[in-house]
Amino acid sequence: MCREVHDLDEIGGLLEWDQSVMMPVNGARQRGRQQAALARLIHERWKSSELGDLLGRLQDGADDTDPWMKADLREVRRRRARALLVPDDLVAQRAMACSLAQGAWEKARKDNDFKAFLPYLEDVVRLTREWAACINGDRPYDALLDEYEPGALESELRPLFERVRERTLALLDRLKGASNPPSRAVMTRGFPMDSQRSFVRRLATDMGFDWSAGRLDTSAHPFTIGTLHDVRITTRYDPDNLATALFATMHEVGHALYEQGLDPERYSDPSGHACSLGIHESQSRFWENLIGRSRPFW
């Protein structure tokens, strides 16, 4: 059952990819209904009595299970416990709102018209707050964190971000006061689009991206969808700024390498997925920032 849910999740990801890369503009509402139906179906799987009965039977022999099985059971219980707290209708409404907001954001970004996007954003925020309150009414942001970074708490992250803020502001002050400030001129001149596309494809190849198990396309905002043998990444181009495509591609290939490197025997098991967004971002930002912005790379 859990592998079936994983397959359904992957279908949802492909619908997201298609919406951002290929879908006709007028298909937004149809796509929203599709995503809502799929989200409801996945949610019902997590809440099903069949899964509850299975977990109960497995619990009886928990002491005899191997480490992988114990990890699978831990992840399934966590996902199921969250799902049981949230109404099916709310899950579907939120999926619909997020899908509609994606198309509205792309148009608003192109037109530089935030007011046009605002109603969609308000719907997403409202429904997300309702969803979080169902899971943890006292600490709703902890409920949101746990979806992407299991076990993380707002109280632990606030001091971390305060330290990051202090060091970042100090660095900015140094740069602003520098007698010979860094120049970005090498990146901000005319770069033919065809040459940029060829360059970032070569870069992805050199990084180890497996083209037989993935593809690179263009979208309004770069992202990575998929896993193992079907990983879709996107980038975007600016004819007057090479950094846009360069660093976006390195970032997304970092995500893709993580997904392409998962264990093919376990990638669709609950414990075989990418383990958290923090770990995922550590891979993408390792390539984008620690390597991509290093002197040896240049």
> Radius of gyration (Cα) for the chain, nearest Å?
22
- Are the CB atoms for 55 and 77 separated by under 8 Å? yes
Per-residue pLDDT of the chain (298 residues; tens, 9 = 90+): 889 999 999 999 999 999 999 999 999 999 999 999 999 999 999 999 999 998 888 876 655 668 888 899 999 999 999 999 999 999 999 999 999 999 999 999 999 999 999 999 999 999 999 999 999 999 999 999 999 999 999 999 999 999 999 999 999 999 888 888 888 888 898 999 999 999 999 999 999 999 999 999 999 999 999 999 999 999 999 999 999 999 999 999 999 999 999 999 999 999 999 999 999 999 999 999 999 999 999 8
User: How many CA atoms lie within 13 Å of 103's alpha carbon, on the beta-carbon side?
Assistant: 19
Entry pTM: 0.92
Model confidence pLDDT, tens digit, residues 60-118: 665 566 888 889 999 999 999 999 999 999 999 999 999 999 999 999 999 999 999 99
Strands 224-227 and 214-218: unpaired
Give me the catalytic one of 16, 252, 259, 288: 252
Residue 143 gets the label, from left (phi > 0), alpha (psi -120 to 50) or beta, of: alpha
259 catalytically annotated: no
User: How many CA atoms lie within 13 Å of 13's alpha carbon, on the beta-carbon side?
Assistant: 15
